[in-house]
């Protein structure tokens, strides 16, 4: 690898990008402050929001759930239905203030998941914009924002491991379980 990782480009087969999230109404005004990757117990993405996590949840929608909602409600209305009732998983903050999303398996590191924050206060629930993310998307962003060769090598290895798992299991990205 060249010394300056920020000048590198990666193919979509090496580090597939997450598929863009739909445009949704943003009334919640809670933002993701940071995302970290934890490999201590499998692969976990830790999302930290700005401000208090009281009443705040992070909804997770798989690619297939999003596609189902898109077919059912159309592109102009899908965001209105990305709610708690339709989420695949609803995360609450852990003791450290992180919303922890565990990737199902190595073959699914490149699968796109859609995340949306909601906050309930005084009986009113508001929603933030949806965003798309995956383990490989984390890796794509990490290698372009660091000069640390260990992080670059780790991210490339994770993506290669995921690609090998997909090949071994005959899995297509966003296929589901």
**Residues 97-114: tens digit of each pLDDT:** 889 998 779 999 999 999
pTM of the predicted protein model: 0.82
Confidence at residue 83, expressed as pLDDT on a 0 to 100 scale: 92
- Out of 4-13, 83-92, 122-131, give the one with best mean pLDDT: 83-92
Q: What local confidence, expressed as pLDDT, does residue 35 receive? A: 86
Decide: 111 and 132 in contact? Cβ < 8 Å. no
SS3 8: coil
Q: What are phi and psi of 163, to 5 degrees?
A: -60, -40
- pLDDT beyond 80 at 31: no
Q: Which two tokens stand for residue 27?
A: 């009334």
State which of 33-37, 64-68, 104-108 shows the largest mean pLDDT. 64-68
Rounded CA separation 69/63 (Å) = 10
CA distances from 28 to 24, 55, 59, 124, 126 (A): 11, 11, 13, 10, 5
Question: CB of 115 within 8 A of CB of 130?
Answer: yes
Arithmetic mean of pLDDT, 10-23: 57
């Amino acid at each position: 690898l060249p010394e300056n990782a920020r000048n590198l480009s990666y193919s979509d087969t090496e580090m597939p990008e997450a598929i863009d999230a739909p445009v949704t109404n943003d009334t919640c005004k809670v933002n993701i402050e940071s995302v970290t990757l934890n490999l201590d117990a499998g692969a976990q993405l830790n999302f930290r929001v700005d401000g208090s996590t009281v009443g705040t949840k992070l909804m997770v929608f798989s690619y297939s759930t999003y596609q189902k909602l898109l077919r059912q409600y159309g592109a102009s209305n899908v965001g209105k239905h990305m709610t708690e009732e339709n989420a695949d998983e609803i995360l609450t903050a852990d003791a450290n203030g992180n919303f922890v999303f565990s990737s199902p398996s190595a073959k699914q590191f490149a699968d796109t998941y859609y995340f949306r924050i909601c906050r309930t206060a005084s009986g009113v629930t508001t929603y933030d914009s949806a965003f798309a993310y995956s383990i490989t998307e984390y890796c794509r962003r990490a290698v372009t924002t660091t000069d640390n060769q260990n992080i670059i090598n780790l991210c490339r290895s994770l993506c290669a491991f995921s690609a090998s798992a997909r090949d071994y299991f005959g899995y297509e990205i966003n296929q589901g379980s």
